[in-house]
Amino acid sequence: MKDFLSIKKQDIFLKKRELLEAGLLQVAVGILALISSRGVVAGRLLPFGVAFLAGCPKYYCASAALGAFLGYFIPVTSSSGFRYIASLFAVLAIKLILSANKKLSANPLFAAGVAAISNGVTAAVSAATVSLGFIDYLSESLLCALGAFFTCKTALALKSDRVGLSGEELASLLVVASMALMGLGGVSVYGVSLGNILGVFLILTAAKYGGTLAGAVSGIAVSFASLLSGADNTGIYYFGGMMAGVFSALGKYAQIASMGVAALISAFYTTGEEGLFPLIAQTVAGSLIFLFLPRSAGTHLGKIFAGVPKITMPSGIKKAATMRLTLASNALKDISETVTQVSKELGRINAPDFSSVLAGIERDVCRGCKLKIHCWESRHDLTVEAILEMTKAVKSGAENPISYTSEEFKGRCLKPTVLEQSVSSRYLEYASSIAAENRIEEVRQVVSDQFEGISNMLEDLSADIDSDEKFDNSAALSAAAVLKNLNIHAEECCARIDRFGRMTLEIRVKTDKDTALNKLRIMKALSLVCERDFDAPVINQAGGDTYITVSERAIYKIDIGVTQINAENNNMCGDAFNCFNDGKGHYISVLSDGMGTGGRAAVDGAMASGLMSRLLKAGFGYDCSLRILNSSMLFKSTDESLATVDIASIDLFTGEARLYKAGAAPTLVRRGGRTGKAESTSLPVGILREVGFDTAAIRLKAGDILLLMSDGAVSDGLGWIRAELEAFREGTAKDLARHIAECAKSRRGDTRQDDITVIALILERCP
């Protein structure tokens, strides 16, 4: 009974709140109608009250009619407003008569026609008593029609409660706002107009939350309204709107500065000294309102001005994307093959030749010697043999190379000292050329590997996109709409359904330094609107943008525990690891062991683990990511630089675990109480150009355990670790990892120490 009463009270509270919001909205519509009706065009026309009423939905007609009536009843010009009151009654009569036809009454063209006809008829009736010309009546009717059209478009856009506004809808909204600003233009103190102040505020706000397009459109709309009012400084608005939109990405202060520049330029060219103060004062006042606008109010305005996010299109675009990616992949493969072929040809052409060394020695030593012909023609082979023996001596670091030649050669050489110097210098040049050519060849090979690795990445992306069965655009729009209610503005949204029927949402959102993303609220909102059970979102930052990836909740989850013990009490650990959810239902653990211990090993391990993790998070395949990592390790230093790579990827929907190893220590798997191992025979990365993973796959169930370890943990063998793993019954993965690491440290004794890292992964069923 208590629960029933609490629910009833909550329902009553919600109903009261809804009624209050509806009442406030009716009051707001009436005020807008009143303000619009007092917008004066050319000092004598008042078309916008009639236009506002004609464009309003029928459930706001009473409020709009009352507000417009009050606006016209209170004189704002020298002419009477009763003609417009008659137009209001005509608009109401037509709308009420045709209200049964919902499709017609919601048509913007119908609203424009009603406004134009009502204004035209009342103008014709009162032509005898009102001193206006035909052009005035025609212009007024056209303005009524345009105002009604844009008001109706705005009402339809705001009523739909979609995620954002299209360019056409945004323009309509800003035109309606400008109509209201014209009504406030007459409220001024010392020439400083309230309408112009709010016009500056509108431009800055639209530019901040809607970008360049909203800034430019708002500037044009406010400029046109100012022009209709007879102002002579309209340039500030369209120029300021464009500038504020362009500089919106740099923050509020950049927008205000750009608006100030526009005001100064406009003041210099369009106003005299008497108009300088009002123009500057209006710009400053509008900028201050914008600057000190409360964050909550800015968030609600952002919902209004936010544009419709880009939604990924289905099969046609997907097929085109896969074809383009495949084409780019093949082109990069061709480049890689071309680089390799050209490298081989250049190697043959530019390879250092030892005959050039002999020719250089002959020029250095034997030029002008009487025995030159005897040495290089009659006894050519013996001379070359002697120089080769001297070259070997120079290579070995001997101090007197000529002593390694035959007695016959030492007896006939007239310049032994010069010969020694020439052989030494010429051989060193030759050795340097060989080393340089080898290094250039290594660089060519690494560049070729990079091209091939990128080609493989594009190929993987193409296969990944092609394997997705379809894109659910309605789900993407719904997701963006519900995020809008959480004050998160989506700029791009994609809802992918893979071949297994799992949905993945990928959303690029607009954030600033003050934006806080609540993962729990995002997960609950998206799960509700998409009618699927989603997991906690993965939020990444890249290139200044924020990306939210949400996948369906899996059957399993991972209890993870990691323990690291540095070797010899070093401050830095040569082992590095990363554990993450890839956003597609896989939990991935990456462990890397850098060569040795200390700072150098820490750099290698961190680079291998970090780069591999980033590539996998980006959606690239394991093999191509390994190739990119390997070429990066080869190219980063002239010294030897290597690291092991040990990866475990667990499908949280099926329990399938895949192991990828490159020079890594064995992994132990306890499945159903029995323990097995997965070993690696491949080399670590950073040694040879050709590198590959040893792979294994195993199906796990709830309670099964994976144990990833670095070399330091298995230095005393695997037997004891297997026994400890099988004996483990109660505790968390953290307890298990800590126990294995501490035992490994105590068992190695005084032997050579190495960094110890133990990662325990226990598969658990989600509640």
**Confidence at residue 499, expressed as pLDDT on a 0 to 100 scale:** 67
Q: In this predicted structure, what is the pLDDT of residue 4?
A: 37
List the Cα angle 185/188/189 in 5-degree steps. 165
Contact 183, 207 (CB under 8 A): no
Residue 5 has pLDDT above 50, yes or no: no
- pLDDT at residue 577 in the model: 92
Instruction: Report CA-CA distances (Å) from 694 to 116, 662, 691, 759.
Output: 78, 6, 10, 19
Distance CA 457, CA 461 (A): 6
Contact 182, 326 (CB under 8 A): no
Task: Report the C-alpha gap between 173 and 180 in whole angstroms.
Answer: 11
Q: Residue 44 burial by CB count (10 A; 0-12/13-18/19+): exposed, middle or buried?
A: middle
Those residues whose C-beta lies under 8 Å from the C-beta of residue 278, and which sit 6 or more positions away, are 188, 190, 191, 192, 193, 196
AA letter at 25:
L
Most confident of the ranges 62-76, 420-434, 717-731: 717-731
More confident residue, 700 or 17: 700
Tokens coding 450 = 């990079």
Single-letter amino acid code for the residue at 623? D
Whether residue 758 is predicted with pLDDT greater than 50 in this model: the reply is yes
Distances (CA, A) of 715 to 501, 521, 579: 45, 47, 24
Per the model's pLDDT, the better-predicted residue between 295 and 256 turns out to be: 256
423-472: pLDDT as tens digits:
888 878 877 777 766 666 666 666 666 666 676 666 776 676 666 557 78
Of residues 161 and 652, more confidence is placed in 652
Determine the pLDDT at residue 80. Answer: 61
**Mean confidence (pLDDT) of the chain:** 78
Helices marked H in 160-251 — which ranges?
167-184, 194-228, 235-246
Q: Say if strands 586-593 and 575-581 run parallel, antiparallel, or are unpaired.
A: antiparallel
**Comparison of pLDDT for 476 and 734, the residue scoring more:** 734
Dihedral of alpha carbons 401, 403, 408, 411, sign: positive
Distance, CA of 242 to CA of 207 (rounded, Å): 8
Tell me the pTM.
0.49
Distance CA 586, CA 577 (A): 17
How many angstroms separate the CA atoms of 330 and 324, rounded? 10
Higher pLDDT, 466 or 680: 680
Residue 684 DSSP one-character state: P
φ, ψ of residue 489 in degrees (nearest 5): -100, 110
Q: Name the least confident of 28-32, 301-305, 389-393, 496-500.
A: 301-305
With beta carbons less than 8 A apart as the criterion, state whether 628 and 615 touch: yes
736: pLDDT confidence band, cut at 50, 70 and 90? Answer: very high
Share of the chain above pLDDT 90, in %: 10
CA distances from 524 to 479, 485, 515, 516, 530 (A): 11, 13, 19, 16, 10
What is the spatial distance between Cα 680 and Cα 693, in angstroms, rounded to a whole number?
8
Look at residue 1 in the predicted model and tell me its pLDDT: 35
H helix runs in 511-597, sequence order:
519-530
| pLDDT at residue 419 is higher than 70 | yes
Residue 252 neighbours by CB distance under 10 Å? 18
Q: What digits encode the pLDDT tens for the residues 43-54?
A: 778 888 888 888
Only one residue has tokens 């407003």, namely: 81
Neighbours of 381 (CB within 10 A): 7
d(CA 700, CA 346): 53
Task: Note the pLDDT of residue 2.
Answer: 41
Q: What are residue 471's DSSP bridge partners? A: 496
**Count of beta carbons in the 10 Å neighbourhood of residue 730:** 5
pLDDT of 738 reads 93
Closest by Cα among 700, 706, 699 to 678 = 706
CATH of 556-765, one of 3.20.20.140, 3.60.40.10, 3.90.700.10, 3.40.50.920: 3.60.40.10
From 258-262, 300-304, 602-606, 687-691, the region with the lowest mean pLDDT: 300-304
Q: Which stretches within 648-732 are classed as H helix?
A: 719-727
Position 707 scores a pLDDT of 95
* Stronger pLDDT, 6 or 580, i.e. the higher one: 580
CA distance 566 to 438: 38
Reported as a single tens digit per residue, the pLDDT across 494-552 is: 888 876 678 888 888 876 666 678 888 888 888 888 888 888 888 887 766 788 888 88
Question: pLDDT class for 563, splitting at 50, 70, 90?
Answer: very high
pLDDT at 7 (0 to 100): 43
Q: Is the pLDDT of residue 14 over 60?
A: no
Domain boundaries, the chain: 19-161, 174-307, 325-467, 470-549, 556-765
What are the helix (H) ranges across 293-314? 295-305
Q: State pLDDT tens for residues 600-614.
A: 788 888 888 888 888
Q: What percent of the chain has pLDDT over 70?
A: 77
Write b or e for each residue in 665-703: b if 16 or more Cβ atoms lie within 10 A of its Cβ, otherwise e. bbbbbbbeeebeebebebbbbbbeeebebeebebebeee
The pLDDT of 123-147, averaged and rounded, is 75
The model's confidence at residue 214, banded by pLDDT at 50, 70 and 90, is confident
Retrieve residue 566's tokens: 């540095």
User: What are the pLDDT digits (tens) for 159-191?
Assistant: 765 566 777 777 788 788 888 877 777 777 777
